[in-house]
């Protein structure tokens, strides 16, 4: 019987999963998929490493009402495919680790208390990450549950990059810039190091653009700065989140419009960004098809903000050697990529229209000083790698 690691990435109404077989000191993908529409229109899809469909099931909402029920259905659906494999650990993406949780950790009751205490800092993600851990603990009693944090990759920032211009006691209380999407950035850094060590040792801006979007400046494999801050609201606009906003706007909305914390949370997390600006959709594909001028304005603002942050991160690193697009928008939205790169010639960034249209791995004009790459991210693979490292260290202590 071979050993395997299950990786779960739990969202508000979905669980992404990937099963890795342990081969020596490596984790090799054997299947992946997701359960979406939990509690509403549950749909399970799973594929093997050759992309053949292993399971494709739908249920009425009440039949998969929560994450516990979803995980049961997932294991039923993929059960035949994992026969002969023993789950030795379950790895979890956890969005916020706060100032202290900066490395993958085994989750026990003490750790769960720390994760729950961080829920107000990531209200869209942390509760569901915790629900995934609880569901997996019930389904796999006694199997190690290991949390990997999206904030951990950014914990090596210099103080100047992390602090707000507030009295120092606030920083001591954890009011600081954390950065997110760290597992994605860490994966891209490892990938570049394997492909081109010299480039990975240089100055790279990675644009993780999806429903949640951020950018990170990475020098010699180390996060120098990121566009996200104390929460996952900061930085560039996203699908439904606002990105950077003048705090005076929030004070005005409270004082002049009578909005309270709940109202602001609903606005900034759920009805801002591309969805709020366009009044149509948070999906770039829908906006690119639309003839509504608000859709064009939303995309134009998004491209402008991303372009601005590329320049800012290049300044933070003293230059740029490569720009990497990743995640759903970054990997697929060709027109939007081109718009983002317009006007970045002063950084040596110029893309080839034909390469970009073909979605080539390298889309810069040949011979240019700054490389522009498109790479698929794989947070689950990064989590599996961390899980194996932690298990190996535990055996040797």
Q: Which residues are catalytic?
A: 150
What is the distance between the alpha carbons of residues 251 and 242, in angstroms, rounded to a whole number?
A: 16
Contacts of 52 (CB under 8 A, 6+ apart): none
Of 123, 150, 184, nearest to 329 by C-alpha is 184
SS3 171: helix
> Tokens in use for 10?
């739990």
What is the distance between the alpha carbons of residues 73 and 61, in angstroms, rounded to a whole number?
A: 13
- Residue 194 to residues 3, 155, 201, 224, 238, Cα–Cα distance (Å): 26, 23, 11, 21, 30
What is the distance between the alpha carbons of residues 384 and 183, in angstroms, rounded to a whole number?
A: 11
H or E element, residue 128: helix 126-139
Is 160:135 a contact under the CB 8 Å cutoff?
no
> Tokens in use for 146?
């290991």
Count other C-beta atoms under 10 Å from residue 54's C-beta: 17
């Amino acid at each position: 019987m071979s050993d395997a690691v299950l990786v779960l990435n739990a969202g508000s109404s979905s669980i992404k999963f990937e099963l890795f077989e342990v081969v020596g000191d490596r984790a090799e993908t054997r299947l992946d998929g997701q359960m979406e529409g939990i509690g509403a229109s549950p749909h399970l899809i799973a594929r093997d490493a050759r992309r053949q469909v292993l399971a494709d099931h739908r249920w009425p909402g009440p039949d998969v009402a929560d994450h516990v029920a979803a995980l049961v259905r997932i294991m039923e659906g993929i059960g035949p495919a994992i026969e002969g494999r023993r789950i030795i650990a379950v790895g979890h993406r956890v969005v916020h680790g706060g100032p202290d949780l900066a490395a993958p950790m085994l989750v026990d009751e003490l750790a769960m208390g720390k994760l729950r205490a961080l829920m107000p800092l990531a209200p869209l993600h942390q509760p569901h990450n915790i629900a995934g851990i609880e569901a997996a603990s019930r389904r796999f009693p006694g199997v190690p549950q290991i949390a990997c944090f999206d904030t951990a990759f950014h914990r090596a920032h210099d103080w100047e990059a992390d602090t707000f211009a507030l009295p120092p006691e606030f920083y001591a209380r954890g009011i600081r810039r954390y950065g997110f999407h760290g597992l994605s950035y860490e994966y891209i850094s490892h990938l570049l190091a394997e492909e081109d060590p010299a480039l990975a040792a240089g100055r790279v801006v990675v644009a993780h653009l999806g429903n949640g979007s951020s950018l990170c400046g990475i020098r010699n494999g180390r996060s120098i700065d990121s566009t996200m801050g104390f929460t996952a609201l900061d930085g560039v606009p996203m699908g439904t989140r606002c990105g950077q906003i003048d705090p005076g706007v929030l004070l005005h909305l409270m004082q002049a419009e009578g909005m309270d914390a709940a109202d602001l949370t609903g606005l900034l997390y759920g009805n801002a960004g591309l969805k709020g600006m366009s009044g149509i959709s948070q999906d770039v594909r829908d906006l690119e098809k639309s003839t509504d001028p608000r859709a064009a304005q939303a995309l134009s603002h998004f491209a402008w903000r991303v372009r601005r942050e590329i320049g800012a991160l290049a300044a933070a690193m003293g230059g740029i050697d490569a720009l990497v697009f990743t995640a759903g928008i970054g990997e697929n939205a060709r027109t939007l990529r081109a718009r983002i790169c317009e006007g970045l010639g002063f950084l040596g960034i110029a893309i080839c229209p034909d390469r970009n249209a073909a979605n080539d791995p390298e889309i810069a004009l040949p011979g240019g000083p700054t490389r522009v790459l498109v790479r698929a991210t794989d947070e689950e693979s990064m989590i599996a790698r961390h899980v194996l490292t932690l298990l190996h260290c535990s055996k040797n202590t």
